[in-house]
Amino acid sequence: MVNIVKLMLFFILSRWFSMSEKKKVALIATGGTIASITDEKTHSLRPGLRVDQLLSSLPKGMSDIEVIEKNLLQMDSANLQPHHWQEIATAIKEVSEEIPDLSGIVVTHGTDTMVYSSSAISFMIQDFGKPIVFTGSQISAIVPWSDGPRNLLDAIRVAAFADLSETCIVFNGEIHRPTRTKKTRSNAYDAFDTMDPRPLGILARDIVLYEGRRKRHNLVPRFDTRIDDRVFLLKVFPGIPPGILTKIVDMGYHGIVIEGYGEGSIPSEENALTNGISQAVRMGCFVVVSSQCTYGRTDLSVYEVGRSARDVGAMGAQDMTSEAAVVKLAWVLGHTRNPDDVREMMMRNYVGEVSYKIEEQELK
Protein backbone atom coordinates (compact mmCIF):
# COMPACT_ATOMS: atom_id res chain seq x y z
CA MET A 1 0.00 0.00 0.00
CA VAL A 2 2.85 2.35 0.89
CA ASN A 3 4.50 1.66 -2.49
CA ILE A 4 1.28 2.51 -4.34
CA VAL A 5 0.99 5.81 -2.46
CA LYS A 6 4.63 6.62 -3.27
CA LEU A 7 4.06 5.88 -6.93
CA MET A 8 0.97 8.07 -7.04
CA LEU A 9 2.81 10.89 -5.26
CA PHE A 10 5.74 10.58 -7.69
CA PHE A 11 3.36 10.70 -10.65
CA ILE A 12 1.56 13.79 -9.34
CA LEU A 13 4.80 15.62 -8.55
CA SER A 14 6.37 14.76 -11.91
CA ARG A 15 3.27 16.02 -13.70
CA TRP A 16 3.32 19.22 -11.64
CA PHE A 17 6.99 19.89 -12.36
CA SER A 18 6.55 19.22 -16.09
CA MET A 19 3.59 21.58 -16.23
CA SER A 20 5.42 24.24 -14.23
CA GLU A 21 8.52 24.21 -16.44
CA LYS A 22 8.67 27.24 -18.67
CA LYS A 23 8.56 26.83 -22.44
CA LYS A 24 11.67 28.30 -24.03
CA VAL A 25 11.31 30.29 -27.24
CA ALA A 26 14.17 32.01 -29.07
CA LEU A 27 13.29 35.35 -30.66
CA ILE A 28 15.58 36.36 -33.53
CA ALA A 29 15.09 39.92 -34.81
CA THR A 30 15.99 40.99 -38.34
CA GLY A 31 14.27 44.39 -38.54
CA GLY A 32 11.23 45.17 -40.68
CA THR A 33 8.21 47.39 -40.08
CA ILE A 34 7.51 45.82 -36.70
CA ALA A 35 10.86 47.22 -35.48
CA SER A 36 10.59 50.56 -37.26
CA ILE A 37 11.06 54.02 -35.81
CA THR A 38 10.73 57.44 -37.46
CA ASP A 39 14.03 58.82 -38.70
CA GLU A 40 14.47 62.36 -37.38
CA LYS A 41 16.17 63.61 -40.56
CA THR A 42 14.08 62.02 -43.30
CA HIS A 43 10.82 61.62 -41.31
CA SER A 44 10.48 58.16 -42.88
CA LEU A 45 10.36 54.76 -41.21
CA ARG A 46 13.45 52.64 -40.72
CA PRO A 47 14.15 49.64 -38.47
CA GLY A 48 15.50 50.60 -35.06
CA LEU A 49 13.84 48.64 -32.24
CA ARG A 50 15.71 45.86 -30.41
CA VAL A 51 14.18 42.59 -29.23
CA ASP A 52 13.70 43.85 -25.66
CA GLN A 53 11.80 46.87 -26.98
CA LEU A 54 9.56 44.64 -29.10
CA LEU A 55 8.85 42.45 -26.08
CA SER A 56 7.99 45.51 -23.95
CA SER A 57 4.96 46.09 -26.22
CA LEU A 58 3.44 42.75 -25.20
CA PRO A 59 0.97 42.29 -22.35
CA LYS A 60 2.49 41.15 -19.07
CA GLY A 61 1.89 37.73 -17.62
CA MET A 62 3.72 35.32 -19.95
CA SER A 63 4.95 33.48 -16.87
CA ASP A 64 4.93 30.11 -18.62
CA ILE A 65 7.23 31.21 -21.49
CA GLU A 66 10.88 32.22 -21.35
CA VAL A 67 11.99 34.26 -24.38
CA ILE A 68 15.66 34.11 -25.36
CA GLU A 69 16.59 37.31 -27.20
CA LYS A 70 18.85 37.54 -30.25
CA ASN A 71 19.35 40.72 -32.29
CA LEU A 72 20.64 39.49 -35.65
CA LEU A 73 19.87 42.17 -38.26
CA GLN A 74 18.32 45.63 -38.32
CA MET A 75 17.17 45.91 -41.93
CA ASP A 76 14.21 46.77 -44.08
CA SER A 77 13.36 43.48 -45.74
CA ALA A 78 13.54 45.15 -49.17
CA ASN A 79 17.31 45.26 -48.59
CA LEU A 80 17.68 41.59 -47.64
CA GLN A 81 19.74 39.45 -50.00
CA PRO A 82 20.06 35.64 -50.38
CA HIS A 83 23.15 35.58 -48.15
CA HIS A 84 20.97 36.98 -45.36
CA TRP A 85 18.80 33.84 -45.63
CA GLN A 86 21.95 31.87 -44.83
CA GLU A 87 22.68 34.16 -41.86
CA ILE A 88 19.20 33.58 -40.48
CA ALA A 89 19.54 29.80 -40.95
CA THR A 90 22.93 29.85 -39.21
CA ALA A 91 21.50 31.84 -36.29
CA ILE A 92 18.69 29.31 -35.92
CA LYS A 93 21.18 26.44 -35.96
CA GLU A 94 23.40 28.11 -33.36
CA VAL A 95 20.62 28.96 -30.92
CA SER A 96 19.06 25.49 -31.25
CA GLU A 97 22.42 23.88 -30.43
CA GLU A 98 23.05 26.24 -27.51
CA ILE A 99 19.59 25.60 -26.04
CA PRO A 100 18.52 22.05 -27.03
CA ASP A 101 15.27 22.20 -25.03
CA LEU A 102 13.81 25.07 -27.06
CA SER A 103 10.12 24.68 -27.81
CA GLY A 104 10.36 26.80 -30.95
CA ILE A 105 11.88 29.81 -32.67
CA VAL A 106 10.37 33.14 -33.75
CA VAL A 107 11.94 35.35 -36.43
CA THR A 108 10.67 38.92 -36.74
CA HIS A 109 10.99 40.10 -40.33
CA GLY A 110 9.70 42.70 -42.77
CA THR A 111 6.62 41.68 -44.73
CA ASP A 112 7.86 42.63 -48.20
CA THR A 113 10.26 39.69 -48.59
CA MET A 114 9.11 37.52 -45.71
CA VAL A 115 7.80 34.86 -48.12
CA TYR A 116 11.22 34.58 -49.79
CA SER A 117 13.17 34.36 -46.52
CA SER A 118 10.81 31.93 -44.80
CA SER A 119 10.63 29.76 -47.93
CA ALA A 120 14.43 29.67 -48.02
CA ILE A 121 14.55 28.60 -44.36
CA SER A 122 11.99 25.87 -45.16
CA PHE A 123 14.46 24.34 -47.64
CA MET A 124 17.63 25.07 -45.67
CA ILE A 125 16.36 23.62 -42.39
CA GLN A 126 14.36 20.41 -42.74
CA ASP A 127 13.18 17.99 -40.04
CA PHE A 128 13.71 20.64 -37.37
CA GLY A 129 11.07 19.00 -35.20
CA LYS A 130 9.55 22.20 -33.81
CA PRO A 131 8.08 25.41 -35.21
CA ILE A 132 10.20 28.10 -36.85
CA VAL A 133 7.78 31.03 -36.94
CA PHE A 134 8.17 34.16 -39.05
CA THR A 135 6.12 37.21 -38.17
CA GLY A 136 6.09 40.98 -38.50
CA SER A 137 3.57 43.75 -38.86
CA GLN A 138 2.06 46.28 -41.21
CA ILE A 139 2.39 49.09 -38.65
CA SER A 140 5.36 49.78 -36.39
CA ALA A 141 5.13 48.34 -32.87
CA ILE A 142 5.56 51.87 -31.43
CA VAL A 143 2.18 52.95 -32.85
CA PRO A 144 -0.75 52.30 -30.44
CA TRP A 145 -2.88 50.55 -33.10
CA SER A 146 -0.04 48.44 -34.45
CA ASP A 147 -0.72 44.84 -35.37
CA GLY A 148 2.82 44.03 -34.24
CA PRO A 149 2.14 43.08 -30.59
CA ARG A 150 -0.68 40.73 -31.53
CA ASN A 151 1.32 39.05 -34.30
CA LEU A 152 4.38 38.70 -32.07
CA LEU A 153 2.36 37.26 -29.20
CA ASP A 154 0.64 34.83 -31.59
CA ALA A 155 4.00 33.79 -33.03
CA ILE A 156 5.47 33.14 -29.58
CA ARG A 157 2.36 31.17 -28.68
CA VAL A 158 2.68 28.98 -31.80
CA ALA A 159 6.41 28.46 -31.22
CA ALA A 160 5.81 27.45 -27.62
CA PHE A 161 2.72 25.28 -27.85
CA ALA A 162 1.70 24.33 -31.42
CA ASP A 163 2.06 20.69 -32.49
CA LEU A 164 3.92 21.78 -35.59
CA SER A 165 7.39 21.08 -36.98
CA GLU A 166 7.43 23.39 -39.98
CA THR A 167 8.66 26.82 -40.87
CA CYS A 168 5.54 28.99 -40.98
CA ILE A 169 4.28 32.55 -41.17
CA VAL A 170 1.99 33.69 -38.36
CA PHE A 171 0.08 36.83 -39.26
CA ASN A 172 -3.35 38.29 -38.50
CA GLY A 173 -4.51 35.18 -36.66
CA GLU A 174 -3.51 32.73 -39.41
CA ILE A 175 -0.69 30.20 -39.76
CA HIS A 176 0.65 29.91 -43.31
CA ARG A 177 3.12 27.57 -45.00
CA PRO A 178 5.65 29.97 -46.62
CA THR A 179 6.06 28.01 -49.86
CA ARG A 180 2.29 28.21 -50.45
CA THR A 181 1.94 31.89 -49.49
CA LYS A 182 1.96 35.32 -51.12
CA LYS A 183 1.84 38.82 -49.75
CA THR A 184 -1.38 40.01 -51.37
CA ARG A 185 -2.08 43.32 -49.60
CA SER A 186 0.33 46.20 -49.09
CA ASN A 187 -1.43 47.95 -46.18
CA ALA A 188 -4.18 45.77 -44.71
CA TYR A 189 -3.62 43.74 -41.56
CA ASP A 190 -4.35 40.52 -43.44
CA ALA A 191 -1.27 40.91 -45.63
CA PHE A 192 -0.79 37.23 -46.52
CA ASP A 193 -2.91 34.57 -48.17
CA THR A 194 -2.31 30.87 -48.67
CA MET A 195 -2.48 29.78 -52.32
CA ASP A 196 -4.44 26.51 -52.33
CA PRO A 197 -5.46 24.57 -50.48
CA ARG A 198 -5.69 26.40 -47.11
CA PRO A 199 -3.55 27.75 -44.22
CA LEU A 200 -1.87 25.41 -41.74
CA GLY A 201 -4.17 26.71 -39.03
CA ILE A 202 -5.72 29.67 -37.24
CA LEU A 203 -5.37 31.29 -33.84
CA ALA A 204 -8.55 31.57 -31.82
CA ARG A 205 -9.00 30.81 -28.11
CA ASP A 206 -7.02 27.69 -28.96
CA ILE A 207 -4.44 27.05 -31.66
CA VAL A 208 -6.43 25.29 -34.37
CA LEU A 209 -4.24 23.23 -36.73
CA TYR A 210 -5.50 21.50 -39.84
CA GLU A 211 -4.64 18.08 -41.22
CA GLY A 212 -1.72 17.89 -43.61
CA ARG A 213 0.73 19.72 -41.37
CA ARG A 214 3.99 18.23 -40.13
CA LYS A 215 3.76 17.49 -36.41
CA ARG A 216 6.50 17.82 -33.79
CA HIS A 217 9.07 15.03 -33.83
CA ASN A 218 12.54 14.08 -32.59
CA LEU A 219 14.30 13.43 -35.89
CA VAL A 220 17.79 14.81 -36.41
CA PRO A 221 17.48 18.23 -38.11
CA ARG A 222 19.08 18.75 -41.51
CA PHE A 223 20.84 22.08 -41.96
CA ASP A 224 21.92 22.78 -45.53
CA THR A 225 22.34 26.41 -46.57
CA ARG A 226 23.92 25.83 -49.99
CA ILE A 227 22.28 28.01 -52.64
CA ASP A 228 23.09 29.50 -56.02
CA ASP A 229 21.83 33.07 -55.90
CA ARG A 230 22.14 33.55 -59.68
CA VAL A 231 18.45 32.89 -60.36
CA PHE A 232 16.36 35.45 -62.27
CA LEU A 233 12.59 36.04 -62.14
CA LEU A 234 11.14 37.26 -65.45
CA LYS A 235 7.52 38.26 -65.97
CA VAL A 236 6.06 37.76 -69.45
CA PHE A 237 4.15 40.69 -70.96
CA PRO A 238 2.84 41.44 -74.46
CA GLY A 239 5.78 42.61 -76.53
CA ILE A 240 8.53 41.16 -74.34
CA PRO A 241 11.72 40.95 -76.45
CA PRO A 242 12.86 37.31 -76.90
CA GLY A 243 16.53 38.24 -76.75
CA ILE A 244 16.23 39.13 -73.09
CA LEU A 245 16.70 35.48 -72.10
CA THR A 246 20.17 35.17 -73.59
CA LYS A 247 21.04 38.59 -72.12
CA ILE A 248 20.13 37.22 -68.70
CA VAL A 249 22.38 34.20 -69.24
CA ASP A 250 25.17 36.49 -70.45
CA MET A 251 24.84 38.37 -67.14
CA GLY A 252 25.87 35.18 -65.36
CA TYR A 253 22.54 33.73 -64.28
CA HIS A 254 22.27 29.96 -63.97
CA GLY A 255 18.50 29.73 -63.60
CA ILE A 256 15.47 31.66 -64.84
CA VAL A 257 11.90 31.45 -63.57
CA ILE A 258 9.55 32.77 -66.24
CA GLU A 259 6.14 33.93 -65.05
CA GLY A 260 3.97 32.92 -67.97
CA TYR A 261 0.27 33.53 -68.52
CA GLY A 262 -2.44 31.21 -67.23
CA GLU A 263 -1.18 27.63 -67.06
CA GLY A 264 2.29 28.64 -68.23
CA SER A 265 1.61 30.03 -71.70
CA ILE A 266 4.33 32.05 -73.42
CA PRO A 267 4.47 33.79 -76.83
CA SER A 268 5.34 31.19 -79.49
CA GLU A 269 4.76 33.11 -82.74
CA GLU A 270 5.58 36.82 -82.99
CA ASN A 271 8.23 37.68 -80.40
CA ALA A 272 8.39 33.97 -79.58
CA LEU A 273 10.30 33.14 -76.39
CA THR A 274 10.91 29.55 -77.47
CA ASN A 275 14.16 30.30 -79.30
CA GLY A 276 15.40 32.27 -76.31
CA ILE A 277 14.54 29.40 -73.95
CA SER A 278 16.24 26.90 -76.24
CA GLN A 279 19.39 29.02 -76.41
CA ALA A 280 19.42 29.56 -72.64
CA VAL A 281 19.11 25.81 -72.02
CA ARG A 282 21.92 25.08 -74.50
CA MET A 283 24.07 27.62 -72.64
CA GLY A 284 23.60 25.62 -69.43
CA CYS A 285 20.84 27.71 -67.88
CA PHE A 286 17.84 26.04 -66.25
CA VAL A 287 14.42 27.48 -67.13
CA VAL A 288 11.27 27.02 -65.06
CA VAL A 289 7.87 28.36 -66.13
CA SER A 290 5.45 29.45 -63.41
CA SER A 291 2.15 31.32 -63.63
CA GLN A 292 1.21 34.94 -63.09
CA CYS A 293 -2.13 33.75 -61.73
CA THR A 294 -2.68 33.75 -57.98
CA TYR A 295 -4.37 30.34 -57.87
CA GLY A 296 -4.07 27.18 -59.92
CA ARG A 297 -1.09 25.35 -61.37
CA THR A 298 1.25 25.38 -64.32
CA ASP A 299 0.62 22.66 -66.88
CA LEU A 300 2.77 22.96 -70.00
CA SER A 301 0.91 20.15 -71.77
CA VAL A 302 -2.51 21.82 -72.13
CA TYR A 303 -1.91 24.55 -74.71
CA GLU A 304 0.41 24.62 -77.68
CA VAL A 305 1.94 27.84 -76.34
CA GLY A 306 2.88 25.98 -73.17
CA ARG A 307 3.96 22.77 -74.85
CA SER A 308 6.33 24.77 -77.07
CA ALA A 309 8.22 25.90 -73.96
CA ARG A 310 8.39 22.36 -72.61
CA ASP A 311 9.59 20.99 -75.95
CA VAL A 312 12.66 23.26 -75.93
CA GLY A 313 13.68 22.34 -72.39
CA ALA A 314 11.64 24.42 -69.93
CA MET A 315 10.29 22.84 -66.74
CA GLY A 316 6.84 23.59 -65.33
CA ALA A 317 6.62 24.94 -61.78
CA GLN A 318 3.53 22.80 -61.05
CA ASP A 319 1.52 24.79 -58.51
CA MET A 320 4.46 26.44 -56.81
CA THR A 321 4.24 30.18 -56.36
CA SER A 322 6.82 32.15 -58.32
CA GLU A 323 8.51 33.09 -55.05
CA ALA A 324 8.79 29.45 -54.00
CA ALA A 325 10.02 28.46 -57.48
CA VAL A 326 12.80 31.08 -57.36
CA VAL A 327 13.96 30.03 -53.90
CA LYS A 328 13.72 26.31 -54.68
CA LEU A 329 15.64 26.64 -57.94
CA ALA A 330 18.37 28.60 -56.10
CA TRP A 331 18.52 25.86 -53.45
CA VAL A 332 18.55 23.04 -56.03
CA LEU A 333 21.29 24.69 -58.10
CA GLY A 334 23.30 25.09 -54.91
CA HIS A 335 23.44 21.29 -54.82
CA THR A 336 23.71 20.17 -58.45
CA ARG A 337 23.95 21.37 -62.03
CA ASN A 338 23.26 17.95 -63.52
CA PRO A 339 20.18 18.43 -65.77
CA ASP A 340 18.51 15.15 -64.80
CA ASP A 341 19.07 15.77 -61.09
CA VAL A 342 17.85 19.37 -61.31
CA ARG A 343 14.66 18.28 -63.06
CA GLU A 344 14.03 15.49 -60.56
CA MET A 345 14.64 17.77 -57.56
CA MET A 346 12.43 20.53 -58.96
CA MET A 347 9.60 18.02 -59.39
CA ARG A 348 10.02 16.52 -55.91
CA ASN A 349 7.96 17.89 -53.03
CA TYR A 350 10.29 18.71 -50.12
CA VAL A 351 8.48 21.06 -47.74
CA GLY A 352 4.92 21.28 -49.03
CA GLU A 353 5.77 23.64 -51.87
CA VAL A 354 3.71 21.42 -54.17
CA SER A 355 0.18 20.84 -52.93
CA TYR A 356 -0.87 17.93 -55.14
CA LYS A 357 0.46 14.47 -55.91
CA ILE A 358 2.78 14.51 -58.92
CA GLU A 359 1.72 12.02 -61.52
CA GLU A 360 4.35 9.55 -62.71
CA GLN A 361 4.24 10.77 -66.30
CA GLU A 362 5.19 14.29 -65.19
CA LEU A 363 8.50 12.96 -63.85
CA LYS A 364 9.52 11.70 -67.30
Q: Catalytic amino acids?
A: 33, 111-112, 183
For residues 172 and 191, is the Cβ–Cβ distance under 8 A? yes
Q: For the chain, where are the E strands, in sequence order?
A: 23-31, 36-38, 45-47, 65-75, 104-108, 125-126, 132-135, 167-171, 174-176, 181-183, 192-194, 201-203, 207-209, 222-223, 231-235, 255-260, 286-291, 315-316
Burial class (CB within 10 angstroms; exposed 0-12, middle 13-18, buried 19+) of 353 = buried
Q: Which of 34, 28, 30 is nearest to 142 (CA)?
A: 34
Residue 231, beta-bridge partner list: 255
CA distance 168 to 166: 6
Helices 304-311 & 274-282, crossing angle to 10 degrees?
20
Across the beta sheet with 286-291, what order do the strands follow?
Answer: 231-235, 255-260, 286-291, 315-316
Type of residue found at 131: P
Cis peptide before 242 (omega within 30 of 0): no
